[in-house]
Structure 1
Amino acid sequence: MSVVASLDGVAKSYGGVRALRPTTLDLRPGVIGLLGPNGAGKTTMLRLLSTALPPTEGRIVVSGFDVTASHAERVEARRRIGYCPQEVTFPRGMTAFAFLDYLAVLKEWREKDARHGEVRRVLELVQLADRGAMKVARLSGGQRRRLAIAQALLGTPDLLVLDEPTTGLDPEQRASLRGLLSGLPGTVLLSTHQTEDVSALCDRVLVIDAGSIRFDGTVPELLATAAGRVHLGPVAAGDAVQAWRTGTGLVRSVGGRPAPDSTVVDPSVEDAYLLLRSEPHPTEGAIT
């Protein structure tokens, strides 16, 4: 598959703090999950790819346009990017339809009928077709989150960058969003703390910590790193990374020395992530 976006030696620093260490990645069509703790560099990476931030060093290319080369190339790249940040500020006096229509104008949809058709299309995609005439201030938190996602879908972008898109959504809405994202063309880069979304949806997983990519592979490859290292038993494993009592009354232990009478169980994405995070890695301050 062709490369939709790439980072070549891209790094970002804020003063003396390195938020993202030199990173080289190729992003191809499909859904890519980005996991990492708070302050790991996730949001910095998303803002770099969306052109909201310039890199301190390195080169970013989106849909063949070098974001770091010139203003003209950056504008062309932006026409092919959809971005939904974690926090979106809405003009609350507008209706949902007017908000999307305003952003479509900014995205250079000049022909009114075509633009309004596109607004109706994305409202339908996020199940807000019956809320277009409602003021944004009257929408629920979950509806506003879906409206934020809708604006990123305008124009069917080659690269869709989503920062915690399922925040505020109920289980049914999250499942619906998974169905939507899995059927999109192009590349979806999804930053999330919801490991179940990664296991259910993503073709590829990136784990970032302290500004460095710690893992890059498929969900089965990530799970394989935790094989044989998760146990259920009457008590916690010695030196377990994490352990908790489950609804069955048995204790689930991630890592550590298995307790007597414990059994090996299949790891989850969360288990594998916790084990990966527990392993030594270079330390350096990072912010998002």
Structure 2
Amino acid sequence: MLRSDLTVNASLSVDHTPLLLIDDLHFAYPDGRVALRGVHLRIARGEKVALVGPNGAGKSTLLLHLNGVLRGNGRIEVAGLPVSERTLSQVRARVGLVFQNPDDQLFSPTVFEDVAFGPLHMGLAARDVQARVERALALVGMSTYRERHPYHLSMGEKKRIAIATVLAMEPEILAFDEPSAGLDPRARRGLIRLLRDLPLTMLVSTHDMAMVQELCDRMIIMDEGRIVADGTAATMLDDEALLEAHGLETPWKERGVRD
């Protein structure tokens, strides 16, 4: 939970109790396309984990299972709470899902109303909603934007507001789908710093391997609906053969220069 006296600390300690647990998850779309083939995953509180792989690997499908948008066969628990029809409202308060396109999350006339939407639908008192909005906007460095119109903001600003909308729900884990997509270099660097400093567990689906290098200690590779590799990001990012086998590039090749 994000407390009002929370100190932002990039070195958030990691314990070994699974905050997210997935066992033998399978999923096929109505057209018969199989997207997940027996996924097993455990993420501890405090970890920042990159989820990488080629297009069609199942990354986005997996993210949409975390708060019940999609429902496959298998076991999913968030902070010990099984994801089921009965627990969806509780699970969705614990998992903050941030989409690739912030326009999918921003629809109100003002930034304040967008960020307040979730807490209001939790039935919180007006003063508690106000406090959550102010706290969330402060965490993303957008406190002065509360009365701005979201559709007039830059892509980088919209992404920060989209993150604030889920922070206002006080989640226990943040799940991102391509957070750096569409950003110019300055906005991308600012976003990476923001995510690095947020004291929350994260699962980040991305093709941005340089971002993985800067943000995540652990990396998971998915391909054809399965987890095919799971290990230390620094080690895996230096394994060019492994990355190329799964349609990925090392960060230095991605940038066209070796550090």
Normalising by structure 2, report the TM-score: 0.81
Corresponding position of 2:113 = 98
1:196 aligns with 2:210: yes
Query: 1:36-68: CA deviations, max 9, x gaps?
Result: 11111110000011221111x111011111104
1:41 aligns with 2:58: yes
Could you tell me which amino acid in structure 1 is paired with residue 23 of structure 2? D
Corresponding position of 1:139 = 153
Q: 1:172 to 1:91 in 2, by over 3 A?
A: closer
Q: Secondary structure of 1:52's match? A: coil
Which of the numbers 74, 77, 88 marks the counterpart of 1:61? 77
Corresponding position of 1:10 = 25
Q: Where in structure 1 are there 5+ consecutive unaligned residues?
A: 227-254, 256-271, 279-288
Could you tell me how far apart the structure 1 residues matched to 2:198 and 2:129 are?
20
Corresponding position of 1:175 = 189
Q: Secondary structure of 2:18's match? A: coil
- 1:276 is displaced (CA, Å) by 4.3
More helix by share: 2
Which of the numbers 154, 159, 167 marks the counterpart of 2:173? 159
Count of matched residue positions in the alignment of Structure 1 and Structure 2: 230
Contact 2:93 2:170 in 1 (8 A): no
Contact 1:119 1:154 in 2 (8 A): yes
Corresponding position of 2:47 = 30
- 1:25 is displaced (CA, Å) by 0.8
Could you tell me which amino acid in structure 2 is paired with residue 167 of structure 1? A
Higher mean C-alpha displacement, 16-25 vs 113-122:
113-122
Could you tell me how far apart the structure 2 residues matched to 1:93 and 1:85 are?
17
Could you tell me which amino acid in structure 1 is paired with residue 141 of structure 2? Q
Decide which structure has the larger Cα Rg and report it.
1
Contact 1:206 1:213 in 2 (8 A): yes
Q: Superposition RMSD on alpha carbons, in Å?
A: 2.0
1:75 aligns with 2:68: no
Query: 1:91-123: CA deviations, max 9, x gaps?
Result: 6551111111122212x1512122112112222
Could you tell me which amino acid in structure 2 is paired with residue 37 of structure 1? P
Q: Secondary structure of 2:104's match? A: coil
Contact 2:108 2:114 in 1 (8 A): no
Could you tell me how far apart the structure 1 residues matched to 2:164 and 2:183 are?
14
Query: 1:196-230: CA deviations, max 9, x gaps?
Result: 0101110110111111112100113314533xxxx
Q: Where in structure 2 are there 5+ consecutive unaligned residues?
A: 1-15, 249-259
Q: Secondary structure of 1:4's match? A: strand
Q: Secondary structure of 2:48's match? A: strand
Higher mean C-alpha displacement, 81-90 vs 130-139:
81-90
Could you tell me how far apart the structure 2 residues matched to 1:149 and 1:163 are?
12
Contact 2:24 2:75 in 1 (8 A): yes
Query: 1:134-170: CA deviations, max 9, x gaps?
Result: 1122212222222112112224311111111122333
